[in-house]
Amino acid sequence: MSLHRERGPMVVDDVRRLPHAPLVVAEGTCFSAALVEDASRAAWLLPTATLQRERLESRGQANRLYLLLHEVIEREARTSAVPIVFVDSSDTVEDTVRTVEELFAPALAAGPRADTKAERRALLREANLAIVEQLRGYFARPWAVGQADTTVRTFVCECGDPSCVAKVRPRSPRARPRRRSPPGNITRRRAARDGRSGTCSKDRARGGSR
């Protein structure tokens, strides 16, 4: 977060280089509200002061720096007039998702969106390949311990069903996505058939404690 003034503009440059369709959602702590050109297409999630204090204390990280960063982020958001969504301990993830969806509803309705299954599968493949590239980039660093080729990561299911939020964890690093799409898509169904594991957060939510 403390590097957001340097890193944010670099990320914006990367986003500008992406195709104009479909819509792109850019998120992360490297973005400053000052970078936002259209406040109607932005949302800033901030914990309330109480929730921030509770979480920092539970992690043993209650120090002045984090409190100051919260003040800086909130001030920048107010100055830039971007919508702020305050998250409290009484809010569920679903509550926050609903609020953000309502804020973005006009932009999502205007599109352009990835409507076909093939378009969605191509985007999911791109996201999984980005994970692979991040892994390779990390292990290419001289101080990194381990190897990209022996690391097993979780990938998003590439079935293209808009309601699917399944995660697929290949048992073998060789099963990670390759630069071919489709028919090489990794999906929860294919993972189960091949003896790999696939977990679905929708199933967990239904059977969980909430």
Contact 198, 158 (CB under 8 A): no
Mention every residue, 6+ apart, whose C-beta is less than 8 A from residue 121. Answer: 158, 159, 160, 181, 182, 185
State which residue, 4 or 125, has the beta carbon closest to Zn ion.
Answer: 125
Contact 165, 200 (CB under 8 A): yes
Shortest distance in whole angstroms from residue 44 CB to Zn ion:
30
State which residue, 42 or 166, has the beta carbon closest to Zn ion.
Answer: 166
User: Where is 166: in which H helix or E strand?
Assistant: strand 166-169
User: Where is 132: in which H helix or E strand?
Assistant: helix 117-139
State which residue, 82 or 157, has the beta carbon closest to Zn ion.
Answer: 157
- Strand bridging mode 84-87 / 155-156: unpaired
Q: Which of 30, 33, 43, 157 binds Zn ion (CB under 5 A)?
A: 157
Residue 186 in contact with Zn ion, rule: CB under 5 A: no
Shortest distance in whole angstroms from residue 177 CB to Zn ion:
14
Residue 124 in contact with Zn ion, rule: CB under 5 A: no
* The token pair that represents 109 in the structure block: 């309705």
- Only segment of 42-50, 93-101, 140-148, 166-174 that touches Zn ion (CB under 5 A): 166-174
Shortest distance in whole angstroms from residue 93 CB to Zn ion:
20
For 50, half-sphere exposure in the C-beta direction (CA atoms, 13 angstrom radius) is 6
Question: What is residue 90's three-state secondary structure?
Answer: coil
- Only segment of 26-34, 76-84, 145-153, 183-191 that touches Zn ion (CB under 5 A): 183-191
Q: Which of 159, 168, 186, 191 binds Zn ion (CB under 5 A)?
A: 159
State which residue, 73 or 164, has the beta carbon closest to Zn ion.
Answer: 164
State which residue, 4 or 176, has the beta carbon closest to Zn ion.
Answer: 176
Residue 164 in contact with Zn ion, rule: CB under 5 A: yes
Q: Which of 85, 46, 83, 82 minimizes the C-alpha distance to 67?
A: 46
State which residue, 30 or 159, has the beta carbon closest to Zn ion.
Answer: 159
Binding residues (CB under 5 A) for Zn ion: these are: 157, 159, 164, 166, 188
